[in-house]
Amino acid sequence: MINKQLFFAPHPALCHIVNNIMIGHTVTDDSQIHLSFQFPPLPEHSILFYPHDIPIVQDVITSQVQTLYACTVTGPQSERTVLALGHNHLMIKIGFQPGVLYRLLGQPMHLMLQQDYDGEAVFGSGVRLTIDELANAQDFMTMKNIVEKFMFFNLTKIKKPVSIDYVIPEIIKHGGMLKIDTLVKQANMSNRQFERAFKDRMGVSPKFYSRLVRFGKAWLLKENNPGITWTEVAYECNYFDQMHLIRDFKTFTNTNPKDISNSFERQPFLLVKGIFH
C-alpha cells in the first residue's frame, strides 16, 4: 500500500481566503477490501478534487449514502460521516477561511448544511480542465499549483469582507471559548444582525459553531496523539469535564469516544487534518 499526505500553506496572495491546501494519496492492491475512515464534522468549508477514484460518503446519523463528485463543494458539516475510499484515492483539498465560501457563492450556508455539491455545476465546465490537470500531475507541488491557479481564476468572484468576516476567525483562534457578546461588539452589530449574518456565512448559530470548533479540536488532538486519554483531551480543550465532551460526541457523532479511538487504531495512517493546522 502507498500512503502519502502533505499539508501546504497557500500562496501568500491567497492567504486571506484559503486557510490550507491538503493533498493525500492512498493506493491499495485491488484484492484488498475498500478502506473507509471516520470523518468528524469540522468548522471548515472546502472544495475537494478527486481526480481518480471518487469516494462514497455515508452520514452515520441519517444513514444516507452518496457518491461524491470529481470536484466536490462541501459546506457546513454538523454530523460525523464515513468515507469509503477507492483503490486509487487522490484528494486535493482547498480549505477556506471562515465565511469565504459564502462570499464566493453568494449562497447562505444554512441551505448547504450537511450537503455536498457538484463543483462542475457550481463553477462551470472549466472545472473539468482542472480535474484533468490534477489527474496528469506528477507530484504534489504541481497539484498545489494547479488548485491555486483555479482559485486565482475565481478570485474576482469573492465579495469583499465586512466587519463580521474579520471576527469569526477569532472563534477558532480561541478554541471555541470566546464569548459571543465579545464578537458582537467587535463586529459593531446588533445581536440580531450578527446572528443572521453569522448563520448566512457559517450555516449554524454562533453558539453551535463554537461547540463545533471545540469538538473538532478535541477530535484532532486525540487522533494525532493516540497516547493521551480522553480526560486529558477534555482538559486541553477546556471542557468542564469528560461528561461534557461525551455530550458533544453524542451530538456530533452519535457514538462515544471509545468507538472513535478504536477506529483510529484500525486505520492510523488516515489522519484528518484541517482548519487547526
Using DSSP, state whether 118 is helix, strand or coil. Answer: strand
Q: Check residue 275 and give its pLDDT.
A: 58
Tell me the residue range of the domain where 190 lies.
Answer: 162-268
Do 30 and 130 reside in the same domain of the chain?
A: yes
Do 198 and 181 reside in the same domain of the chain?
A: yes
267 — pLDDT class (breaks 50, 70, 90): low
Decide which of 128, 157, 186 is a domain's last residue: 157
Q: Check residue 205 and give its pLDDT.
A: 96
In a domain, 275, yes or no: no
In a domain, 238, yes or no: yes
In a domain, 274, yes or no: no
Mean pLDDT of the region 224-253: 90
Q: Check residue 254 and give its pLDDT.
A: 85
The answer on pLDDT for 50 being more than 60 is yes
In a domain, 185, yes or no: yes
Mean pLDDT of the region 106-127: 94
Do 153 and 185 reside in the same domain of the chain?
A: no
φ/ψ of residue 22, rounded to 5: -120, 135
Q: Check residue 1 and give its pLDDT.
A: 73
The answer on pLDDT for 273 being more than 70 is no
Do 122 and 88 reside in the same domain of the chain?
A: yes
Nearest to 167 by CA among 152, 180, 151: 180
Helices (DSSP H) in 62-205: which residue ranges? 100-105, 119-123, 127-136, 140-154, 163-173, 180-187, 191-202
Q: Check residue 62 and give its pLDDT.
A: 79
Do 134 and 228 reside in the same domain of the chain?
A: no
Q: Check residue 255 and give its pLDDT.
A: 83
Q: CA-CA distances (angstroms) from residue 44 to 40, 73, 78? A: 11, 12, 11
Please tell me the pTM assigned to this model: 0.90
Using DSSP, state whether 51 is helix, strand or coil. Answer: coil
**Which has the minimum average pLDDT: 21-35, 141-155, 244-258?**
21-35
Higher model confidence: residue 3 or residue 97? 97
39 — pLDDT class (breaks 50, 70, 90): confident
**Which has the minimum average pLDDT: 31-40, 85-94, 142-151, 222-231?**
31-40
Do 137 and 215 reside in the same domain of the chain?
A: no
Torsion, Cα 12 8 159 41, to 10 degrees, reads -150
φ/ψ of residue 272, rounded to 5: -90, 130
Q: What CATH number does the domain containing 236 carry?
A: 1.10.10.60
Q: What CATH number does the domain containing 47 carry?
A: 2.60.120.10
Do 150 and 175 reside in the same domain of the chain?
A: no
Do 17 and 152 reside in the same domain of the chain?
A: yes
The answer on pLDDT for 34 being more than 80 is no
**Domains of the chain: total:** 2
Higher model confidence: residue 12 or residue 225? 12
Do 107 and 18 reside in the same domain of the chain?
A: yes
Do 80 and 127 reside in the same domain of the chain?
A: yes
* Type of residue found at 88: N
In a domain, 277, yes or no: no
